A and B are shown apart, each in its own frame.
Chain A
Amino acid sequence: MILATECDVANEVICAPADVTELFEFPTLFTIGGLEFSRTHILMLFTAFAAVAILYYGLRGQRLVPTKFGAAVEGLVGFVRDGIARDVIGPEGTRYVPYLMAMFFFILVGNLFEITPLINFPVTSRMAIPLFLALVTYVIFMFVGFAKNNFRFLIDTAWPKTVPIALRWLVGLIEVFSIFILRPITLAVRLFANMVAGHLMLTLLLTSGVIFIAAIPEIGLKGSIGVFWFGLGLFMFLLEILIGVLQAYIFTLLTAIYIESSIHFEH
Chain B
Amino acid sequence: MEGNIEELGRALSLIGYGLGAIGPGIGIGIVAGNAITAMARQPEMQGTIRTTMFLGIALTEALALIGFVLFFIASA
Residues of A participating in the B interface, judged by any CB pair closer than 8 Å = 19-21, 83, 87, 186, 189-190, 192-194, 196-197, 246, 249-250, 253-254, 257
For A21, list chain B residues within 8 Å (CB).
76
Q: Which residues of B contact A186 (CB under 8 A)?
A: 62, 66
Give the contacting residue for B58; candidates A19, A192, A250; CB below 8 A: A250
Residues of A within 8 A of B51 (CB): 83, 87, 253
Q: How far is the CA of A25 from the CA of B69 in the complex (A)?
A: 17
CB of B1 to closest CB in A, whole Å: 22
Q: For B62, what are the chain A residues with a Cβ–Cβ distance below 8 Å? A: 186, 189-190
- Asked if B65 is at the interface of the complex by the 8 Å CB criterion, the answer is yes
The A contact surface, by secondary structure, is helix
A88–B69 CA distance with the chains assembled, in angstroms: 30
Q: In the assembled complex, which residues on chain A have CB atoms less than 8 Å from the CB atom of B65?
A: 189-190, 193-194, 197
- A19, B72: Cα distance in complex, Å: 10
Cβ–Cβ contact A246 & B54, under 8 A: yes
List 13 A-B residue pairs with CB atoms under 8 Å apart, sorted by A's residue number: A20-B72, A21-B76, A83-B51, A186-B66, A189-B69, A190-B58, A190-B65, A192-B69, A193-B66, A193-B69, A197-B65, A250-B58, A253-B58
* 15 extra interface residue pairs, beta carbon distance < 8 Å, beyond A20-B72, A250-B54: A20-B76, A21-B76, A87-B51, A186-B62, A186-B66, A189-B65, A189-B69, A190-B58, A190-B65, A193-B68, A194-B65, A196-B69, A197-B65, A253-B54, A253-B55
Min distance, Cβ B2 to any Cβ of chain A, angstroms: 17
Instruction: Pick from A83, A189, A257: contact of B66, CB below 8 A.
Output: A189
Are B55's CB and A254's CB within 8 A? Answer: yes
Instruction: Write out the residue numbers on chain A whose beta carbons fall within 8 Å of the beta carbon of B76.
Output: 19-21
Considering the chains assembled together, what is the distance between the CA atoms of A190 and B61 in angstroms? 8
In angstroms, how far is the closest chain A Cβ from the Cβ of B64?
9
Interface size class of B (residues with CB under 8 A): 10 to 19
Contact with A along B32-55 (1 / 0, CB 8 A): 000000000000000000010011
**CB-based nearest A residue for B54:** A250
Please give the distance in Å from B49's CB to the nearest CB on chain A.
13
The interface residues of chain B lying within 8 Å CB-to-CB of A249 are 54
> B72 CB to closest chain A CB, in angstroms?
6
Q: How far does the Cβ of A258 sit from chain B's closest Cβ, in whole Å?
A: 12
**B residues within 8 A CB of A194?**
65
- Assembled-state Cα–Cα distance A246/B51 (Å): 11
Contacts of B55 in A (CB 8 A): 250, 253-254, 257
Give the shortest distance, in Å, between A245 (CB) and chain B (any CB).
Answer: 11
Could you say which residues of chain A place their CB within 8 Å of the CB of B69?
A: 189, 192-193, 196
Contact partners of B61 in chain A: CB under 8 A:
190
Bound form: Cα–Cα A21–B73 in Å: 11
Q: What residue of chain A has the Cβ atom nearest to residue B63's Cβ?
A: A186
Find the B residue at minimum CB distance from A194: B65
Q: How far is the CB of B4 from chain A (nearest CB, A)?
A: 18
- List residues of chain A with CB within 8 A of the CB of B58: 190, 250, 253-254
B9 to chain A, nearest CB (A): 15
B61 to A, closest residue via Cβ: A190
Per CB-CB distance, the 9 closest pairs between chain A and chain B, nearest first, are A193-B65, A186-B62, A250-B58, A193-B68, A193-B69, A190-B62, A190-B65, A189-B65, A189-B69
